[in-house]
Amino acid sequence: MKKLVVLISLVFWAATATTADEAFKQFGNVKVFYSAFNSSFVAPEIASVYNITRGEDKGLVNVAVVINDQPGGQPAVVSGNVSNIFAQQQGLKFFEVREGDAIYYLAPFDFENEDFLTFTLEVKTESGAGPYGVTFQRTFYHEK
């Protein structure tokens, strides 16, 4: 299971390092970290543990909430959708991943090759703070 945390962390930082978009949005003492990536980046054995469907046209959104710069993430309620340039929307169904102190929220989505997608997320902390809105865009390509 630690492999998933390491994998998600690496993918998270790799995905955000290559974009002009920030890796997080800050709302007072709350930081909402986010990324989206091809599901093929997840190793098959890890995908099977978390029931993640891998494929060239499958992606994952990763969200973590950090309060007062405490490491590991905090419990939250994450919802949202993803839409393409034709305004076709998919609802995102997030599930929680806990590994030690690390807490992440993942949601699968489908995409077409060279799909420019807009992600619109709403995040509430366990204590009820928020909702915090996060919107970001990314182009996805089929992985061969």
pLDDT tens digits, residue range 57-108? 999 999 999 999 998 899 999 999 999 999 999 999 999 999 888 999 999 9
SS3 call for 48: helix
Q: Which two tokens stand for residue 61?
A: 């959104």
The CATH number assigned to the domain with range 2-140 reads 2.60.40.3340
- Would you state the pLDDT for residue 20? 45
C-alpha distances in Å from residue 142, one per residue of 46, 110, 125: 20, 11, 34
pLDDT of 21 higher than 70: no
Please classify residue 121 by burial: count the beta carbons closer than 10 Å to its beta carbon, then call 0-12 exposed, 13-18 middle and 19+ buried.
buried
Task: For residue 15, name the pLDDT band (cuts at 50, 70, 90).
Answer: very low
- Would you state the pLDDT for residue 2? 55
C-alpha distances in Å from residue 110, one per residue of 24, 38, 56, 116: 23, 10, 9, 12
In single-letter form, the type of residue at position 29 comes to: N
